[in-house]
């Protein structure tokens, strides 16, 4: 059996490690020049993770020597590079998969210079991999430098007048360090976010040494933290009993950090916490109170060669940073995926992507998605979800070896979707707010509505009854 993996980020590397350990031949296709996925792409100043460090490495290869409570991008990327080197994973870099097509005998994996057949394909391309740059009138006429937050490429904005469009997690992380050296920063906010404090700090040398050298310390801390996040954050961020506590905590954070009542009002959201992804940050609000930073809440009318226009006039800028998010609901694009009957997966998904357990789609045998539809978490580490998915796919490979090509049935898919939709309808994400969790029509395609532990439980092993098996692989 030969397996193709598309993507060498957290998901693709995890899959490759497990296949390597099992001796299953595989190829990792990676369009970029290195491993790391989102942690290779997002190099803006301040880039880091708002999930505690000790939850952010694989359980089978835990990193115990984190320098901080919340890991920065360079440290996460170094960890993933270490994983690839340690397990001898050598992706084909600079090789973008443009098409997956089943020809009846197997999956043809098409790249600009090659076509190769595999028995099984596992996609691991992430949900936040394609930058979204809004189509603002006049954007092309801007005379300065304009770029997306995920395409920073080492720029230094010292002394410049900077316009940052967007106030999501990326903007909240990059604005504080940029404001320290820029001449002036205008922050264009369309919708305020709920912001919770992030108690980041370097680990004291003794604490760091304990995690590194005391047997079991890291594992015990990780287990405790995981349980804490599941019990407290999950019910709060899906709209459960503790949502009001989050609101109170966020409002207290805002009061503590922003003395000006006018600015505070502008930063206070009008929708329930959790409806959009909560921002965890303790540096964002203080940055907005700096004399060289303005929060602009008026709508952007157009972009002119000299800067950004609002109804009150032109605000000059040398550089525009689009911290405007990603094409999060367009799963797998721009790849085309067709089955042996010529059916296009994106036609099947035209009303919003759906997959059984987020992992498989009817009509598309031996094709598995990591971090697929409805497997994102608003509260816990995605690494945990990815490991559950990889374990499930390994179970599927075992079934394929014994029973032949496998394809999830329409019945299993529709029963799963009905239960998922019922659970999603009860969450705060379905309420009246715009977020990257849902399509323009309001279908929630990204988030998993239950706890991470529950997801792991239901993906413990594939249920053969949910699949039909065909001849050959």
Q: Taking CB under 6 A as the rule, does residue 462 contact ligand N01?
A: no
**Stretches 25-33, 170-178, 229-237, 241-249: which one binds ligand N01 (CB under 6 A)?**
170-178
Other CB atoms within 10 A of residue 271 CB: 17
> What is the nearest approach in angstroms of ligand N01 to the Cβ of residue 276?
6
What's the distance, CA 273 to chain centroid?
A: 19
Q: Lay out the site mask for ligand N01 across 275-314 (x = CB under 6 A, - = otherwise).
A: --x----------------------x--------------
**Residues 268, 253: Cα–Cα separation, whole Å:** 11
**Residues 132, 322: Cα–Cα separation, whole Å:** 8
**Stretches 28-36, 48-56, 341-349, 384-392: which one binds ligand N01 (CB under 6 A)?**
48-56
Answer whether 349's CB lies under 8 Å from 356's CB. no
Query: Which residues face 279 on adjacent strands?
Result: 195
> What is the nearest approach in angstroms of ligand N01 to the Cβ of residue 402?
38
**Stretches 290-298, 323-331, 413-421, 424-432: which one binds ligand N01 (CB under 6 A)?**
323-331
**Residues 44, 72: Cα–Cα separation, whole Å:** 11
Position of tokens 């309808």? 425
Nearest to 180 by CA among 70, 260, 291, 259: 291
Give whichever of 188 and 203 is closer to ligand N01, judged by the CB atom.
Answer: 188
Q: Taking CB under 6 A as the rule, does residue 380 contact ligand N01?
A: no
Q: Taking CB under 6 A as the rule, does residue 329 contact ligand N01?
A: no
Between strands 313-316 and 307-310, the pairing is antiparallel
Q: Taking CB under 6 A as the rule, does residue 360 contact ligand N01?
A: no
Q: Taking CB under 6 A as the rule, does residue 53 contact ligand N01?
A: no
Identify the residue among 123, 170, 319, 338 touching ligand N01 (CB under 6 A).
170
Q: How far is CA 182 from CA 160, 164, 257, in A?
A: 5, 12, 21
Q: Lay out the site mask for ligand N01 across 222-261 (x = CB under 6 A, - = otherwise).
A: ----------------------------------------
Identify the residue among 160, 242, 319, 324 touching ligand N01 (CB under 6 A).
324
The C-alpha angle with vertex 132 and arms to 129 and 137, in degrees rounded to 5, equals 165
Q: Taking CB under 6 A as the rule, does residue 128 contact ligand N01?
A: yes
Identify the residue among 6, 164, 171, 175 touching ligand N01 (CB under 6 A).
171
Identify the residue among 223, 231, 403, 434 touching ligand N01 (CB under 6 A).
434
The three-class DSSP label of residue 52 is coil
Query: Which residues face 386 on adjacent strands?
Result: none
**Residues 415, 466: Cα–Cα separation, whole Å:** 10
Give whichever of 303 and 345 is closer to ligand N01, judged by the CB atom.
Answer: 303
**Residues 333, 408: Cα–Cα separation, whole Å:** 22
Q: Lay out the site mask for ligand N01 across 63-82 (x = CB under 6 A, - = otherwise).
A: --------------------
Q: Taking CB under 6 A as the rule, does residue 19 contact ligand N01?
A: no
Give whichever of 371 and 436 is closer to ligand N01, judged by the CB atom.
Answer: 436
Identify the residue among 190, 255, 302, 316 touching ligand N01 (CB under 6 A).
190
Q: Taking CB under 6 A as the rule, does residue 43 contact ligand N01?
A: no
Answer whether 175's CB lies under 8 Å from 196's CB. no
> HEC string of 343-412?
CEHHHHCCCCCCCECCCECCCCCCEEECCCCCCECCCCCHHHHHHHHHHHHHHHHHHHHHHCCEEECHHH
**Stretches 49-57, 85-93, 98-106, 252-260: which one binds ligand N01 (CB under 6 A)?**
49-57
Identify the residue among 167, 242, 339, 446 touching ligand N01 (CB under 6 A).
167
> What is the nearest approach in angstroms of ligand N01 to the Cβ of residue 193?
7
Q: How far is CA 267 from CA 185, 190, 353, in A?
A: 17, 10, 33
**Residues 115, 198: Cα–Cα separation, whole Å:** 47
Give whichever of 360 and 377 is closer to ligand N01, judged by the CB atom.
Answer: 377
**What residues numbered 436-455 form the site for ligand N01, per CB under 6 A?**
436
Q: Which residues bind ligand N01 (CB under 6 A)?
A: 48-51, 128, 134, 149, 165-171, 173, 188, 190-191, 277, 300, 323-325, 434, 436
């Amino acid at each position: 059996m030969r397996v193709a993996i598309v993507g060498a980020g957290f998901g693709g590397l995890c899959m490759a490690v497990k296949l390597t350990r099992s001796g299953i031949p595989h190829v990792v296709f990676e369009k970029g020049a290195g491993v790391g996925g989102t942690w290779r792409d997002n190099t803006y100043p301040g880039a880091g993770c708002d999930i505690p460090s000790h939850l952010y490495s694989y359980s089978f290869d835990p990193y115990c020597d984190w320098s901080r409570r919340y890991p920065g991008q360079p440290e996460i990327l170094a960890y993933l590079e270490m994983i690839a080197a340690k397990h001898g994973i050598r992706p084909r870099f600079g090789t973008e998969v443009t098409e997956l097509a089943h020809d009846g005998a197997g999956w043809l994996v098409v790249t600009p210079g090659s076509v190769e057949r595999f028995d099984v394909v596992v996609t691991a391309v992430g949900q936040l991999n394609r930058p979204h740059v809004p189509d603002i009138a006049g954007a092309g006429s801007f005379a300065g430098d304009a770029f997306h937050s995920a395409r920073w490429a080492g720029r230094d904005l010292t002394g410049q007048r900077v316009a940052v469009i967007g106030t999501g997690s990326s903007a909240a992380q990059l604005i504080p360090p940029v404001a320290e050296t820029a001449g002036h920063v205008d922050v264009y906010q369309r919708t305020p976010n709920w912001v919770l404090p992030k108690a980041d700090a370097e680990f004291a040398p003794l604490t760091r040494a304990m995690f590194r050298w005391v047997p079991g310390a890291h594992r015990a801390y990780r287990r405790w933290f995981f349980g804490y996040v599941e019990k407290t954050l999950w019910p709060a961020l899906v709209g459960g009993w503790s949502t009001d506590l989050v609101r109170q905590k966020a409002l207290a954070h805002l009061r503590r950090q922003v003395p000006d009542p006018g600015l505070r009002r502008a930063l206070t959201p009008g929708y329930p916490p959790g409806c959009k992804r909560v921002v965890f940050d303790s540096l964002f609000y203080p940055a907005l109170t700096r004399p060289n930073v303005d929060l602009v809440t008026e709508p952007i009318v157009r972009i002119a060669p000299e800067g950004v226009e609002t109804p009150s006039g032109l605000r000059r800028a040398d550089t525009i940073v689009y911290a405007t998010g990603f094409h999060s609901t367009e799963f797998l694009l721009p790849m085309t995926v067709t089955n042996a009957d010529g059916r296009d997966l994106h036609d099947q998904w035209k009303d919003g992507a759906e997959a059984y357990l987020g992992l498989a789609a009817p009509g598309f045998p031996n094709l598995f998605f990591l971090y697929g539809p409805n497997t994102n978490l608003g509260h816990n580490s995605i690494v945990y979800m990815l490991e559950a998915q990889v374990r499930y796919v390994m179970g599927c490979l075992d079934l394929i070896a014994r029973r032949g090509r496998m394809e999830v049935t329409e019945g299993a898919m529709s029963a799963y979707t009905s239960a998922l939709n019922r659970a999603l309808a009860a969450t705060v994400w379905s309420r009246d707010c715009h977020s990257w969790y849902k399509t323009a029509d309001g279908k929630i395609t990204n988030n998993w509505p239950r706890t991470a532990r529950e997801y792991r439980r239901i993906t413990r092993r594939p249920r053969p009854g949910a699949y039909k098996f065909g001849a050959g692989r």
